Structure 1
Amino acid sequence: MAGNTVSQLAVRVGRHGHRARRGRQRCASAARRGGDRLPSNAGGAALSLDLSRLESLLDGFARVRLLVFGDVVLDEYIWGDVDRVSPEAPVPVVRVREETVMLGGAGNVVRNIVALGGGVSFCSVVGDDAAGRRVASLLKDLDVDPRGLVVADSRPTTRKTRVVARSQQIVRFDRETSERTDDDVAGRLRGVLESSLADCDGVVIEDYGKGVLAPPMGSDAMAIFRACNLPVVVDPKSDLETFRGASLVKPNLREAELLSGIEIHDAQDLAAAAARMREDLGGADVIVTRGAEGMTLFEGGTKAVEVRTAPREVFDVQGAGDTTISALALALRAGASLLEAAVIANAAAGVVVGKVGTATASAAEVRELLRGAVEAAGAGS
């Protein structure tokens, strides 16, 4: 699927908005129609965005189904209050009020897609342990089929336990392995990937470096997706060559430096880094997220387009990248241009940074911020 561009990622919808059923076929060539392209600031002109069209694209999320593949994490939170220091050591004493668990890592992308109104299939690896069973239970709570989880007795389920007091994280405990999956697990994982693709319109790969996508699994998965002619959006940890043929890559600024091997000090460095990533991926479009400064888009051979974000009070950036890639993938498959998808994703990220913990954004919440996202993007020319 090398050479696919994001402009090809329009959702395959019939006259009445329903996807054609694939029946028993595991995959089929996806007929794609290009969304209306909007003027950008690639040539120095002001960005032009239609709010009503963005709202219509947001409504279209309900007609999109994505496969999410990557490292699942069980996020555990211990919430409490601190009002004294321990007499045993110079550390705070946390009086625990509440404990919560939720899907993290690639599982948080699943949560975000569901919250935004999209359909989702999920494939990952968990251990034969209580945490793995909790992951399956949390998927069922979202009406997501847990049969895409491969249970491995040779590795634990990745768990991250955070202690939070007065909205501040005090400490985090990680229980995990980053070792590649063994041959038995990898074989079963390939099988569930192939069986999970029916009716999917695209793929999101979330690499958290916990071993699920370690060689050769990542490249094997890409071969499966290419054979099905499915567009792939990647949030990579390392080794872009593994994901050659992807349609879009979405690193943050630090990840862009690591993936490209180029230190980024200015716009010229950023463009060089994007060009190298694009080359490594065989022609993928590139979106580099830059926190409060928004995103920079590199589509095809055009100039970079900066899409700024509306000012927001930030409480927690945890999971904002997962929200961004979820909204991007849904919007692109709903027929959005890359620019339109970026503006919608900026609005979605703006929702979650205003919450504490691994949060999600609903379609209704995103809709409330769309006008501000459009105005902020227009100011970025």
Structure 2
Amino acid sequence: MPTATPLLTLLNGWSPPTVVVVGDFMLDRYLFGNADRLAPDAPVPVLDVQRTDDRPGGASNVCVCLAALRARVRAVGIAGDDEPGRALRAALQTAGVETAGLAADGDRPTTVKQNLVGLAQHRHPQKMFRLDFEDRTPLPGAAVERMLAAVDEAIDGAQAVILEDYHKGVCTPELCRGVIERAHAAGLPVLVDPAAIADYGRYAGADAITPNRTEAERATGLSADDPSAMAARLQAEHGFGHVVLTLDRHGALLRSPDGVEETLPTRARSVYDVTGAGDVVLATLAAAVAQGAAYADGVRLANLAAGLEVERSGVVPIPLEELYLEAMEEAAADRGKVRTLQELVPELAAHRHRGRTVAFTNGCFDVLHAGHVGYLRSAAATADLLVVGVNDDQSIRRLKGPERPVNPLEDRLRVLSELACVRYVVPFATDTPLSLIEAVQPSVLVKGADYTRDTVVGASFVEARGGRVELVPLVEGRSTTNILRRIGGG
């Protein structure tokens, strides 16, 4: 059977981590409407606002991105004791983020990015303007101490810490140093998304830093055309463990603690909106590293997630199921169609996440013939994709006698995999496919018309879940038994 790629191996073994996110928590407020006329009193477009949408932004978006990857997320930061602050907390809590560490500050307003998005004839949304409501004053010492106390509580039982700095006054040098010291004392890695500032000294000693090309150029004074030199200088000057320099369409450069560098490419995309891509990279990398993944694999996964994010309008978290499906489809050409049940189940979950229906049928398929092909084509027509369960050699011997099968399991799997109508082939060793059907959870259970609904194994299970049983016609006179009888008598 084909070997899973490193990304699929990582995703198959995904163990949701606990991650602490510290930094600048913001609310992204979107005003959507038609913008198909100019104002009569000035040469400016008019936005007829039709709806408002609040989304977590900044460190808040990192939290939501982590939650979409099934992480347990603890937020540590400050939001105003105001309407946007309450809306932000509600949005985070709806996403499953723990907000006990997100303090309410009556003297500091919640940072709000108000985006005006216009549509022409109800289509083609484009950002027209952005209004920022914020206070960038550095946090006073007492507020920093309160945040560090919240960090002490939040890191208990966590696997990683994220520092998300948007240069809004929260991530002061004292706060950053305190977070890194506390995390390291607890044995936790710290991953930093730096602000667009010239001095990265406040992040010194972090396990990973993830600047983009422009941010690294500003922090090093070197040319953005030489990412290797920028990564080396950042590491040498500030003692970062890993430097992950994101390079937009060129992927990312990873520099490891030993100075070894690797450029990790990304697949070409139709870029719609790059907003939030850096947050997705940081969240995905942190979630992977938190469960022991190699940084190179974490960056590859982060590249994949960012590629999906930039194809959408606005800031959109990428669910684990969608990430899995993307990794699966990238690897499909090399992996073929044969899967173990353990590999198959998460792949089917990813397909369902995109709204695809699954049909299942099973059999020995010992000597493949025209009857089999017609039957499988009919089965495939009942859903978006067809899974075929195949009896292994031992179960066939129990069912049909010691002379069968004629063709060993490996050959039967290979032949079935060549049929265009078949999406997956999975072997099973039991005398009936019931346990396999329960794991696959098909929308449609297919058997031949020589069965009745009452004799179809798994029918009750499928129907109880809202699925259906389909009995498809067989090609008359075509069967493995008849073929073997003719061969034996010839």
Fold match by TM threshold 0.5: yes
Give the CA deviation at 1:371: 4.7
Contact 1:54 1:344 in 2 (8 A): yes
Higher mean alpha-carbon deviation, 56-65 vs 320-329, is at 56-65
Give the CA deviation at 1:59: 4.3
Contact 1:180 1:215 in 2 (8 A): no
Q: How many angstroms apart in 1 are the aligned matches of 2:206 and 2:14?
A: 21
- Matched residue, 2:111: 158
- Matched residue, 1:117: 70
TM-score normalized with structure 1 length:
0.81
Give the CA deviation at 1:355: 1.0
Give the CA deviation at 1:95: 1.6
Higher mean alpha-carbon deviation, 236-245 vs 202-211, is at 236-245
| Amino acid in the other structure paired with 1:74 | L
Q: How many angstroms apart in 1 are the aligned matches of 2:150 and 2:132?
A: 27
SS in structure 2 of the partner of residue 161 of structure 1: strand
Contact 2:246 2:253 in 1 (8 A): yes
Give the CA deviation at 1:302: 4.1
Give the CA deviation at 1:177: 1.5
Q: How many angstroms apart in 2 are the aligned matches of 1:264 and 1:372?
A: 33
Question: Which residue, out of 154, 174, 178, partners 2:132?
Answer: 174
Q: How many angstroms apart in 1 are the aligned matches of 2:212 and 2:331?
A: 21
- Matched residue, 1:23: none
The Cα offsets for residues 330-353 of structure 1, whole Å up to 9 and x where unpaired, read as: 112222222211111111111111
- Matched residue, 1:71: 24
- The alignment status of 1:90 with 2:50, answered yes or no, reads no
Q: How many angstroms apart in 1 are the aligned matches of 2:12 and 2:320?
A: 8
- Matched residue, 2:249: 292
- Matched residue, 1:264: 224
| Amino acid in the other structure paired with 2:152 | E
Larger Rg: 2
- Matched residue, 2:164: 206
Give the CA deviation at 1:373: 5.7
- Matched residue, 2:383: none
**Alpha-carbon distance change, 371 to 275 in structure 1, aligned in 2, over 3 angstroms:** same
**Alpha-carbon distance change, 359 to 216 in structure 1, aligned in 2, over 3 angstroms:** same
Contact 1:62 1:119 in 2 (8 A): no
**Alpha-carbon distance change, 51 to 96 in structure 1, aligned in 2, over 3 angstroms:** farther
Q: How many angstroms apart in 1 are the aligned matches of 2:311 and 2:81?
A: 35
**Alpha-carbon distance change, 347 to 79 in structure 1, aligned in 2, over 3 angstroms:** same
Q: How many angstroms apart in 1 are the aligned matches of 2:224 and 2:314?
A: 29
- Matched residue, 1:315: 272
Contact 2:209 2:240 in 1 (8 A): no
- The alignment status of 1:344 with 2:292, answered yes or no, reads no
| Amino acid in the other structure paired with 2:325 | E
- The alignment status of 1:252 with 2:212, answered yes or no, reads yes
Give the CA deviation at 1:118: 1.3
- Matched residue, 1:47: none
Question: Which residue, out of 151, 175, 184, partners 1:226?
Answer: 184
Contact 2:163 2:176 in 1 (8 A): no
Give the CA deviation at 1:226: 2.1
TM-score normalized with structure 2 length:
0.64
- Matched residue, 1:369: 326
- Matched residue, 2:443: none
Q: How many angstroms apart in 2 are the aligned matches of 1:374 and 1:212?
A: 42
Q: How many angstroms apart in 1 are the aligned matches of 2:213 and 2:6?
A: 29
Q: How many angstroms apart in 1 are the aligned matches of 2:330 and 2:303?
A: 7
- Matched residue, 2:8: 55
Identical counterparts, % of pairs = 32
Gaps of 5+ in 1: 1-49, 376-381
Q: How many angstroms apart in 2 are the aligned matches of 1:131 and 1:240?
A: 30
Give the CA deviation at 1:272: 1.6
- Matched residue, 1:329: 286
The Cα offsets for residues 109-166 of structure 1, whole Å up to 9 and x where unpaired, read as: 0000000111111101111211111121112212222111122222111000001113
- Matched residue, 1:142: 95
Contact 1:310 1:372 in 2 (8 A): no
- Matched residue, 2:368: none
- Matched residue, 2:404: none
Contact 1:61 1:330 in 2 (8 A): no
Give the CA deviation at 1:51: 4.2
SS in structure 2 of the partner of residue 146 of structure 1: strand
| Amino acid in the other structure paired with 1:242 | R
Gaps of 5+ in 2: 120-124, 333-490
Contact 1:245 1:281 in 2 (8 A): yes
Contact 1:127 1:157 in 2 (8 A): yes
SS in structure 2 of the partner of residue 147 of structure 1: strand
Contact 2:192 2:209 in 1 (8 A): yes
The Cα offsets for residues 203-261 of structure 1, whole Å up to 9 and x where unpaired, read as: 11100000111132221222222221211011111332211221111110001111222
- Matched residue, 1:191: 149
**Alpha-carbon distance change, 108 to 303 in structure 1, aligned in 2, over 3 angstroms:** same
Q: How many angstroms apart in 1 are the aligned matches of 2:171 and 2:331?
A: 36
Give the CA deviation at 1:286: 0.7
Contact 1:51 1:371 in 2 (8 A): no
Give the total of aligned pairs. 325
| Amino acid in the other structure paired with 1:249 | I
| Amino acid in the other structure paired with 1:253 | R
| Amino acid in the other structure paired with 2:163 | I
Question: Which residue, out of 47, 65, 83, partners 1:130?
Answer: 83
Contact 1:150 1:185 in 2 (8 A): no
| Amino acid in the other structure paired with 2:312 | K
Contact 1:113 1:330 in 2 (8 A): yes
